[in-house]
């Protein structure tokens, strides 16, 4: 299975450089119970919970919300068996706050929710970015805006993930297309969070979250997990530069005598608050963003299948399944059609879009919304190819491959 091989490659890419910390050691000791190696017919949301546990997650907090509850339910049952816990908080604001607190206490942490929960979490997501806190935020997207339609999957929160909190910042967001990826990408999300000291989004939706499909959970030795860098024990606390390095500063986690001063107010490399010097503000803004952008190549994951194609379907998440089917049917008809699937939505993979568009004549963007990633894709691709957008007939259902085929025939004329 190509994806499993890719998953393995991706995970082992980090393993030798960054493995460390007690949590990683502990998780290895407990691997027998942590990783449920085997072949399953499993719901996407359940696979996500298992991915988190396999990645070494110990602390989770959330608030009940459809269509993400199955993740919380599974975590609540499974985590205490391996020394962790799920806590049901009073709201999503406190859920993300507790996750950030636990991460500073040294625990790999995660929260699970849907769009309305992200709206409530937004301020503290900015906090997590500001003080460079590793954590995973799962958004199982549902019909929106506002309370919308909870059991229907749409891709309505794609830009929210990037821009929900105030100010300039970069975020990492990964889009699973299957229950297998709900497992695999959750593991990768933890590794990215720990490696780059940042919140990482899983942008799933009700369709992928509730989808039941084959999920293969590998042996624990084949799932490499990484843990954040922390300062050397015994380092003079006054000399620790624990913030704002483009190469990711070691995290002066609590309880180790690092005497960390952690504030989301404008601060310098040692964490000292500075509310008067705009050169410190400029440094604070730029370093946080550059830390992610500098490592964009490592973070970007895409699935390319457009060799020799004149028409390329660009999509992500559950919609990519319809795109793949439409492309294969079109090829049977002799039409030169390919696909590009964005697994990493943020940081936006401009280079991948350009590379694809340079070889294509027509780019069709497929999303289950009114076109959220479309403007970003168009901005990169329109210089080289005709770019158009195709939403489902009804937002809330994934595009019918027949409709995609009709669109392909139209542009390929």
Partner 1 sequence: MSEIVHPLHRFIRPSVTQTTFCPGCGDGIVVQAILRAIDGLGMDLDDFVFVSGIGCAAWIPSPFFNADVLHTTHGRPIAFAFGIKMGLPEKKVMVVSGDGDLVAIGGNHLIQNARRNIEMVVLCINNGIYGMTGGQAAPTTPMGIKTTTTPYGTVENTFNISKLVMAAGASFVACWTAAHPKQLTNSIKKAIQKKGFAFIEVFSQCPIQFGRKTGVGSAVEMLENYKNRSISSKEAAKLSDEELKDRIVVGELVDVEKPEMLEEVKKMMDKARGGVE
Identity of the residue, 15 or 264, whose beta carbon is nearer to partner 1 in the bound complex: 264
The CA distance from 304 to 309, in Å, is 11
Identity of the residue, 40 or 316, whose beta carbon is nearer to partner 1 in the bound complex: 40
Token pair for 378: 């168009």
The CA distance from 413 to 400, in Å, is 20
Identity of the residue, 12 or 265, whose beta carbon is nearer to partner 1 in the bound complex: 265
Chain-centre distance of CA 85, in angstroms? 22
258 binds partner 1 (CB under 8 A): yes
Spell out the residues 6+ positions from residue 197 whose beta carbon is closer than 8 angstroms to its own: 132, 133, 134, 228, 248, 249, 251, 291
The CA distance from 131 to 116, in Å, is 24
Asked if residue 271 lies in contact with residue 289, where contact means CB atoms within 8 angstroms, the answer is: no
Identity of the residue, 61 or 320, whose beta carbon is nearer to partner 1 in the bound complex: 61
Identity of the residue, 163 or 393, whose beta carbon is nearer to partner 1 in the bound complex: 163
Tell me the closest approach of the beta carbon of residue 243 to partner 1, in angstroms.
13
Tell me the closest approach of the beta carbon of residue 327 to partner 1, in angstroms.
45
Tell me the closest approach of the beta carbon of residue 204 to partner 1, in angstroms.
24
Tell me, residue by residue from 279 to 318, as one string, x for binding to partner 1 by CB under 8 A and - for no binding. Answer: ----------------------------------------
Q: What residues from 4 to 43 belong to the interface with partner 1 (CB under 8 A)?
A: 33
Tell me the closest approach of the beta carbon of residue 149 to partner 1, in angstroms.
27
Residue in 238, 307, 308, 332 binding partner 1, rule: CB under 8 A:
238
Q: What residues from 54 to 113 belong to the interface with partner 1 (CB under 8 A)?
A: 58-59, 61, 77, 80-81, 83, 85, 87, 89-91, 93-94, 97-107, 109
- Helix (H) or strand (E) run with residue 289 in it: helix 278-293
Q: CA separation (Å) from 275 to 131, 245, 263, 264, 279?
A: 16, 20, 12, 11, 11
Token pair for 154: 């749409």
Helix ranges, 294-337 (H): 296-299, 319-332
Q: Minimal CA–CA distance to 56: which of 202, 188, 176?
A: 188
The footprint of partner 1 (CB under 8 A) covers: 33, 58-59, 61, 77, 80-81, 83, 85, 87, 89-91, 93-94, 97-107, 109, 123-124, 127, 131, 237-238, 254-255, 257-265, 270, 272-273
């Amino acid at each position: 299975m190509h994806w499993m091989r890719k998953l393995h490659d991706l995970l082992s890419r980090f393993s030798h450089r960054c493995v460390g910390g007690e949590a990683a050691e502990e998780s290895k000791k407990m691997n027998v119970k942590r990783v449920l190696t085997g072949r399953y017919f499993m719901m996407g949301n359940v696979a996500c919970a298992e991915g988190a546990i396999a990645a070494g997650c110990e602390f989770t907090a959330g608030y009940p919300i459809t269509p993400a509850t199955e993740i919380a339910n599974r975590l609540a049952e499974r985590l205490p068996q391996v020394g962790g816990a799920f806590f049901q908080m009073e709201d999503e604001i406190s859920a993300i706050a507790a996750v950030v607190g636990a991460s500073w206490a040294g625990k790999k942490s995660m929260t699970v929710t849907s769009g309305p929960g992200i709206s409530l979490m937004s301020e503290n997501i900015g906090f997590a970015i500001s003080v460079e806190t590793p954590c995973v935020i799962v958004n199982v997207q549902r019909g929106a805006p506002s309370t919308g339609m909870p059991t229907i999957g749409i891709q309505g929160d794609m830009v929210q993930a990037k821009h929900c909190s105030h100010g300039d910042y970069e975020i990492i967001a990964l889009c699973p297309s299957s229950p297998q990826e709900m497992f695999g990408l959750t593991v990768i999300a933890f590794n990215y969070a720990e490696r780059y000291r940042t919140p990482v989004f899983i942008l799933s939706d009700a369709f992928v979250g509730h989808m039941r499909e084959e999920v293969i959970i590998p042996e624990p030795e084949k799932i490499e997990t990484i843990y954040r860098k922390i300062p050397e024990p015994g380092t003079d606390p006054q000399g620790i530069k624990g913030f704002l390095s483009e190469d990711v500063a070691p995290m002066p986690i609590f309880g180790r005598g690092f005497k960390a001063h952690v504030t989301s107010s404008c601060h310098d490399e040692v964490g000292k608050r500075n509310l008067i010097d705009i050169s410190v503000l400029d440094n604070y803004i730029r370093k946080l963003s550059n830390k992610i952008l500098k490592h964009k190549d490592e973070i970007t994951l895409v699935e390319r299948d457009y060799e020799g194609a004149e028409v390329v379907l660009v999509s992500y998440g559950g919609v990519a399944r319809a795109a793949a089917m439409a492309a294969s049917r079109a090829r049977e008809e002799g039409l030169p059609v390919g696909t590009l699937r964005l697994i990493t939505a943020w940081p936006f993979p401009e280079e991948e879009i350009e590379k694809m568009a340079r070889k294509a004549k027509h780019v069709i963007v497929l999303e289950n919304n009114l076109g959220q990633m479309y403007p970003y894709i168009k901005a990169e691709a329109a210089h080289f190819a005709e770019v158009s957008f195709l939403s489902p007939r009804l937002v809330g259902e994934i595009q019918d491959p027949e409709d995609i085929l009709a669109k392909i025939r139209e542009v390929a004329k």
